[in-house]
A = this chain, B = another copy of it.
């Protein structure tokens, strides 16, 4: 592990695992969202995320922030983590409160550590390159005492991602951030890709815990004040009550909107590794094995004259005849058949289920 001399507690990793995504219905359900499923790869996404940074930090330095409903799932899937490292939020408030809560714990447990924040449900096939970028990010954060993020060199004009515009280059693959750009339209995305100056915003952050808290004090004082009021109650009998109190008044704000877009001293590491936020069924397609007709078929399937179709079986046989560009997802109580370019409308199924009171399928 000589390449990663930081496998000590001067680095802590926070895995954000509170998402309640519905875009992978019917495989994902309210009780079991994407991060707890093996959508890509050979294990669940949170397990793979944890494994990916296993060479960098010991389990005692890994924190997960989730919500109370998923606490058991996290403990089961990551049994090596100390129970105290599984932090639960009393309400869904986007990433700024989540990161702030983790920063409090890390400041308390490991005051000198650099804190690495990673989403639980991203797919990163190139682990070695990812770890090199992360190592660069950690060194940069430690050296500059600034906010650091990792951006990905875009390989095509994706409109579903935010972009980071790079400024001054301060080292090999290290840039100051010139600005954050919201999800663009197609023309703008094409311009971003052509410019060579825009990277995909991955939502991965690297900073000393004290620095992000300082930045919250400056740019998101309503969240910072709540956090500091709560801090003395960590480990006390009233911890959960106090946490509920501050979350009840927290705004729902992303760390991008709350802090990153306002902070002066932000760096981005240019990541050249494969990465996807795996935002939909069609986004898994590049990572699944294909047959000679471009079908990505997981589990038992027979395909006759079918093309470019994604299917996933949970045990039953899926038989395809003459179909193209479909998504077929089979589960014990529901089966989805969706045109591939319409997978953003799976949420309409969720809405219909809610309207009809068919909550057993949610």
Which A residues lie at the B interface, using CB under 8 A?
A: 25-26, 302, 304-305, 316-323, 326, 328, 330, 332-339, 341-343, 345-346, 348-349, 352-353, 356, 358, 361
Q: B326 and A346: CB pair below 8 A?
A: no
Chain B's closest residue to A351 (CB) is: B304
Question: Whole-angstrom distance from the CB of A298 to the nearest CB of chain B?
Answer: 14
A316 to B337 Cα, complex, angstroms: 13
Is the beta-carbon distance between B335 and A323 smaller than 8 angstroms? no
Contact A305 B342, beta carbon cutoff 8 Å: yes
Do A318 and B305 touch across chains, with their CB atoms under 8 A apart?
no
**How many copies of this protein are present in the complex?**
2
Q: Known interface pairs A316-B335, A317-B333, A334-B317. Does A322 touch B342 (Cβ–Cβ under 8 Å)?
A: yes
Contact of A339 among B302, B323, B328, B335 (CB under 8 A): B323
Closest residue of chain B to A353 (Cβ to Cβ) is B302
**A348 cross-chain contacts in B, Cβ below 8 A:** 304, 321
Please determine whether B26 and A349 come into contact, CB atoms closer than 8 angstroms: no
Q: A321-B339, A321-B346 are in contact. List 7 more A-B contacts (CB 8 A).
A: A302-B356, A319-B335, A319-B349, A321-B342, A322-B342, A323-B326, A337-B337
**Chain A residues touching B, majority SS:** mixed
Within the complex, the shortest CB–CB distance from A148 to chain B, in Å, comes to 40
A81 to chain B, nearest CB (A): 36
Pair B358/A317 contact, Cβ less than 8 Å: yes
Contact B337 A326 (CB under 8 A): yes
A322 touches B339 (CB 8 A): yes
Decide if B319 touches A334 in the complex (CB within 8 Å).
yes
What is the chain B residue whose CB lies nearest that of A327? Answer: B321
Give A316 to B360 CA distance when docked, in angstroms.
11
Give the residues in chain B near A341, CB-CB below 8 Å: 322
CB closest chain-B residue, reference A338: B321
* Residues of chain B with a CB closer than 8 A to A318's CB: 334-335, 337
For the complex formed, measure the closest distance between the CB of A352 and the CB atoms of chain B, giving whole angstroms: 5
Inter-subunit contact B321/A349 (CB<8 Å): yes
User: Nearest Cβ in chain B — how far from A326, in angstroms?
Assistant: 7
What chain B residues lie within 8 Å of A323 (beta carbons)? 326, 337-339
